[in-house]
Every structure is written in C-alpha cells, then in structure tokens.
C-alpha cells in the first residue's frame, strides 16, 4: 500500500478512453464482515498476476479508503467525503461488501456510491466454471454479459406510503387532474413512480452495443416488459432500437429493420438482409419480453450474448442467470459510467456476518470483479492469468466450502489455503 499521490500515478480519461499509467493508484474499500477476510487475498492475487504478466514493469498502488462499519468506527461517518473524493479523482476502484447503516439517512452505501458518481451501468458477466455444481444439463452454453440500467426505473425511490398526507396529494392529483380511475383500492394504496428516459436508455444501450462490437459478440438483446408498460419499458425498446439504427447503422442490424423489410418486401428479403449483415460481422440487435426471456434462458441460453435491460428486470435477471451456472456466490459485478470513466468493481454478495472472521469465505466474487477491473484498465493479460488458474482449481474440485460441498469430489479449502494455492498456480 502507498500514500504516494503523484499526478503520474492517476488514471485519467482522455478523449473517451482511459489513460492508465504503469503504476496507477487504485482506491479500495476493504468492506465489512467477510470483506475483512477476503480483500487482502484479492489484492495479493492481483499483485502477483500483474507482476508476472508484465515482468515487474506494472504495479497497482493500492490506496485504502474507508466506508461502512470500519469508517464509522474510525471517523464517525459511514461514507466519508474523502472516500467519495478518492473515487472521483482516481476514477477506478474496488470494494468489498458493506453493512447498510440503519436509520442514518442513507438507504444503502452501494446506492449512494452509484448515485454520487452517476454509475449508470451495472455490469454483470455470467459464465460457468467447469467443476462448479449447477442445476443445468449444459451450463457451458451460458455466456452472457448483462448491462443493467442503474439510475432509473422504480429504483429511483420515488414512492409514497399509504395513508400519508403526501400520498393523499398524489392521489388527488392523479384522480382529479389526470382522470385516473384505475386505482383499485385508493384509500389503502401506496404509490410508486417509474421514470425511464430517452437519455437513460440511450447511454445504457450505447454502452452495451459498444461492448458487443469491441468484443466481437454476436448480439445485444433488449429485455423489457413493453407489452404492459408501454411508455416506460416500451420506450426502452423503442429508444434502444432507435439508437442502434441511428448511431450504429454500419455495425449492427436490428430485428426492427428485419421486421420492416419483411412487411415491405417479404420474408425472403428480410432473411437475406439478415444473412448479409451477419456475414459482414454485424451485431444483431433484438428484443424480448422479460418473462419469455427468463424461460428462454433455461431452454436456449446460447441465443443470448449481451443483455441490455432496465433496473428491476436487471436485478432478477442477474441473479437468475448467475444461479443457473451455480455462481450466485461468486458472481462479479461493476458499476460504470462510460462517459466519465468512473468505475467501481465490487463483490456482489453481502457481508455474511454468520461466517465472518472464520477464514472460510469465498473470495471469488471480489476476485472476479478484480479481473473485470484489470480488463477495464486494459491489463487483460493479468486478468486472464487469474481466470485460468481459477478454472484449473474448480476443475479439480478445489474451492471454499460454499462451492466444494456441492462439487463432485470437492475439496473444501479455507480462504487462505484457496488464495495461496491460486497464487502458486499463477
Ligand atoms: P448483508 O446483510 O450484508 O447483505 P447477508 O449475509 O445477509 O449480508 P449475503 O452476503 O448475500 O447476505 O449472504 C447470504 C449467505 O450466503 C451468508 O450468510 C453466507 O452464509 C453465504 N455467503 C455469502 N457470501 C459468501 C461468500 N463470499 N463465501 C461464502 N459464503 C457466502
């Protein structure tokens, strides 16, 4: 760890791309509960992978910043300004799980961080690791990257509780000014508002399409409930297609265009246009209703690659798909603003107080998030070394107990033994 704060060690964002020095300062939050058990191992593994990948020419200068219980105990604040300033300045950071303060005026520290930095994409890659127990017959067919919108939808937290004077005002407005007569039990209803905007949709879908193009992936699927919520979820679909056709006409082909050609010139012409686009390596932009999507992920997961979806759908989809590959406990995640470069990579599980301090927690969610971080800053060689070593360990059934107990011939390792074996494998 270092307190060095030289300008030449700060990652910057120039002309839409990260400029990463050979020794970037990366702020990290240790996290509460099992965060304390896993974070140092994650740093150690990353350091070793970086060292061997670049023969010592690159190194991460870790800078601890405080949040959660540790911050509260040390400085009396759950999310000190210095921590926010560090993430603002250094652009890229990583965090362990955090305890949510009760009754401190903050709904959740994670949400506060996302809102403060306007981290509008919640990025959740899902893949299967051979050896990990799963309910699917063919988990190897699941390989998706989910772009979940992070700032809008009912997660905006605009709601009023039943029986309050505020609710009465909203009800009065809806019934008397807007002519709404469809609220079944007005006297006892709570009411929430679901904002979905053109800007919010476009920046999310743009990020998903650019990711697909950059990584040469075959499709982006817009998942929505536009059949029921015409203007919000339906807007997401319409604006998503609109963006693809306007900004990515050279690199994508949309289902929307396919359907238009079909109506105007017949199915054969549409299929021919589709085939031509695919031969040219274009990304296919399609859409599906969320409920059908969930069914399809089980029946034909190979049809999906990059997923773009709104906040609530994204919540369900991320966890369901992670569960399909047995990876709910090791699923990595990141919250990113692709316009400013700000990104926070994070363990997706909670603080697991029941097992904290016992040296049995699984470090893989945070570790795989660190791999995403290495990819994000362009150090993918180091990231893929970690992934390869993990693949080898899982393949032979070596894992922490949460995974090993379900594996065929699994060997349960403590957090430290798991981390050390991984470091040796690197
Ligand atoms: P929080 O209140 O912070 O969300 P939690 O324990 O209620 O924490 P999760 O962290 O999602 O919620 O965990 C649920 C259970 O899953 C934990 O109690 C623990 O037994 C198990 N678990 C979660 N993460 C891990 C991990 N990294 N390694 C091993 N077991 C885990």
Per residue in 163-176, pLDDT (tens digit) is 999 999 999 999 99
Is position 225 annotated as part of the catalytic site?
Answer: yes
The DSSP bridge pattern shows strands 92-95 and 343-347 to be: parallel
Nearest CA to ligand 1 atom 22: 352
Is position 155 annotated as part of the catalytic site?
Answer: yes
Is position 57 annotated as part of the catalytic site?
Answer: no
Q: CA 339, CA 326: separation in Å to the nearest integer?
A: 33
Tell which atom from ligand 1 comes closest to the C-alpha of 354: 18
Decide: 333 in ligand 1 pocket, CB within 6 A.
no
Cβ neighbors of 250 (< 8 A, separation 6 or more) are: none
Question: For residue 62, which phi and psi values (nearest 5 degrees)?
Answer: -70, 135
Are 24 and 60 contacting, i.e. CB atoms less than 8 angstroms apart? yes
Q: Tell me what pLDDT residue 111 has.
A: 82
Q: CB atoms < 10 A from the CB of 10, how many?
A: 15
Cα of 144 to ligand 1 centre, how many Å? 24
315, 316, 319, 417: the catalytic one is: 315
Are 328 and 319 contacting, i.e. CB atoms less than 8 angstroms apart? yes
Tell which atom from ligand 1 comes closest to the C-alpha of 98: 3
Decide: 402 in ligand 1 pocket, CB within 6 A.
yes
Nearest CA to ligand 1 atom 29: 361
Which DSSP category does 235 fall into? H
Q: Tell me what pLDDT residue 123 has.
A: 98
Decide: 102 in ligand 1 pocket, CB within 6 A.
no
Decide: 348 in ligand 1 pocket, CB within 6 A.
no
Spans in the chain with pLDDT lower than 50: 1-3
* Partners of residue 344 on adjacent β-strands: 93, 335
Q: CA 66, CA 35: separation in Å to the nearest integer?
A: 12
Q: Tell me what pLDDT residue 17 has.
A: 94
Decide: 309 in ligand 1 pocket, CB within 6 A.
no
43, 225, 282, 385: the catalytic one is: 225
How far CA 106 is from CA of 128, 149, 151, 260, 349, in Å, comes to 35, 21, 16, 48, 19
Q: Tell me what pLDDT residue 297 has.
A: 96
Q: Tell me what pLDDT residue 105 has.
A: 62
Cα of 79 to ligand 1 centre, how many Å? 22
Is position 315 annotated as part of the catalytic site?
Answer: yes
Decide: 35 in ligand 1 pocket, CB within 6 A.
no
Q: Tell me what pLDDT residue 101 has.
A: 77
Are 147 and 308 contacting, i.e. CB atoms less than 8 angstroms apart? yes
Decide: 80 in ligand 1 pocket, CB within 6 A.
no
């Amino acid at each position: 760890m270092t307190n060095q704060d030289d300008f030449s060690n700060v990652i910057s964002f120039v002309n839409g791309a990260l400029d990463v020095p050979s020794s970037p300062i990366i702020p990290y939050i240790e996290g509460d509960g099992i965060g304390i058990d896993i974070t140092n191992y994650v740093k150690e593994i990353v350091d070793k992978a970086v060292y061997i990948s670049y023969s010592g020419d690159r190194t991460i200068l870790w800078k601890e910043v405080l949040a959660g219980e540790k911050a509260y105990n040390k400085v009396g604040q759950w999310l000190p300004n210095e921590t926010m300033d560090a993430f603002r300045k250094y652009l890229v950071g990583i965090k362990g799980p955090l305890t949510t303060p009760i009754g401190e005026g903050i709904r959740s520290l994670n949400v506060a961080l996302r809102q403060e930095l306007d981290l509008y994409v919640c990025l959740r890659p899902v893949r299967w690791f051979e050896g990990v127990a799963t309910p699917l017959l063919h988990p190897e067919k699941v390989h998706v990257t989910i772009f979940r919108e992070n700032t809008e939808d009912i997660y905006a937290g605009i709601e009023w509780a039943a029986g309050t004077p505020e609710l009465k005002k909203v009800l009065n407005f809806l019934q008397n000014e807007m002519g709404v007569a469809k609220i079944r039990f007005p006297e006892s209803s709570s009411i929430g508002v679901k904002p979905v905007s053109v800007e919010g949709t476009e920046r999310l879908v743009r990020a998903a399409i650019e990711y697909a193009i950059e990584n040469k992936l075959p499709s982006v699927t817009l998942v929505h409930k536009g059949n029921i919520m015409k203007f919000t979820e339906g807007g997401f679909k319409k604006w998503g297609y609109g963006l693809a056709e306007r900004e990515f006409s050279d690199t994508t082909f949309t289902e929307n265009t396919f359907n238009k050609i079909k109506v105007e010139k017949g199915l054969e012409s549409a299929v021919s246009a589709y085939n031509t686009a695919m031969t040219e390596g274009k990304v296919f932009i399609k859409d599906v209703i969320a409920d059908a999507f969930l069914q399809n992920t089980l029946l034909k997961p190979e049809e999906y690659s990059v997923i773009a979806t709104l906040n609530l759908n994204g919540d369900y989809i991320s966890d369901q798909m992670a569960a399909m590959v047995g990876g709910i406990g090791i699923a990595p995640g990141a919250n990113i603003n692709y316009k400013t470069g700000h990104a926070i990579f994070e363990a997706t599980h909670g603080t697991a107080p029941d097992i904290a301090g016992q040296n049995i927690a699984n470090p893989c969610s945070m570790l795989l998030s660190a791999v995403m971080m290495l990819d994000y800053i362009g150090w993918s060689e180091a990231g893929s070394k970690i992934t390869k070593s993990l693949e080898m360990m899982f393949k032979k059934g070596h894992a922490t107990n949460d995974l090993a107990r379900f594996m065929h011939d699994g060997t349960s390792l403590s957090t430290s033994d798991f981390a050390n074996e991984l470091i040796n494998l690197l």
